[in-house]
Amino acid sequence: MLLQGKRLLITGVLTDDSIAFHTARIAQEQGAEIVLTGFGRSMRLTERSAQRLPNPPDVLELDINDPEHVEAVVDDLRKRWGAVDGALHAIAYAPGDALGGNFLDTPVESAQTAFVTSAYSYKTLAVALMPLMIEAGGGALVAMDFDNRQAWPAYDWMGVAKSALQSVTRYLARDLGKHNIRVNLVSAGPLGTVAAKAIPGFERFDEVWAERAPLRWDTSDPTPVAMMNCVLLSDWAPMTTGEIVHVDGGFHAIAAGPAD
């Protein structure tokens, strides 16, 4: 199996329609042992979702911006496994006034929150897990991205944060490669997850993908994205790092939809 014997930390599981949930599901089906993280009021959602996985895993509380939470998670993983083979970073947040067409009026505090939680946090997770991944002889980190080479309606400062996340990935790949740790992004097409539905005007993304993506894109199916996450977490991508892998039905490659 693709992930037989791998020990993986999966963040960002809320409901069972999330990319992180399906990554966890496929990882277990492919032989991995996993631990999930949740946070605050959403912990109950994560715990309920965990019960729907093939082998219900433990859920640890993790506010990625709280050093005590990060340290506690690392301590648990060290006692539990002694080493970690990989992790999925599916963490992002922007305050309401940083989305929805408020770009010019967004206060600096809200922009900072979007950056720290959605981009800088990849570095936080990587540095925290680095000793455990070195103990494993190396490993893989994967984070969820949304391609922001163009400005999108309503995405605003989350789009800026995603651009920063791409840069963070390249620098992490540079600095962690000597430890045999790979660092990549998966840029997903729009999916009807809880997080996506919180973005004002999300339905417009659906319309644009239907017009332009050469492969039929299904906003209700996170499985193709989750499958790619698992490939990158496995030993089948040993020389891939600093990369942005698009799983978007080919949308990113097409300037305009077909004429017919």
Half-sphere exposure in the Cβ direction for 201 (13 Å, CA) = 13
CB 181 within 8 A of CB 123: no
- Return the DSSP state at 248: S
> If you classify domain 7-248 with CATH, what class do you get?
alpha beta
Tokens 């005007």 sit on residue: 201
pLDDT bin (cut points 50, 70, 90) of residue 191 is: confident
User: Per-domain residue ranges for the chain?
Assistant: 7-248
Give residue-wise pLDDT tens across range 68-118.
999 999 999 999 999 999 999 999 999 999 999 989 999 999 999 999 999
- Check: pTM over 0.85? Answer yes or no: yes
Cα–Cα distances in Å, from 229 out to 72, 102, 113, 206, 226?
25, 32, 26, 22, 5
- Of 82-96, 184-198, 237-251, which gets the smallest average pLDDT? 184-198
Position 207 confidence tier, pLDDT thresholds 50, 70, 90: confident
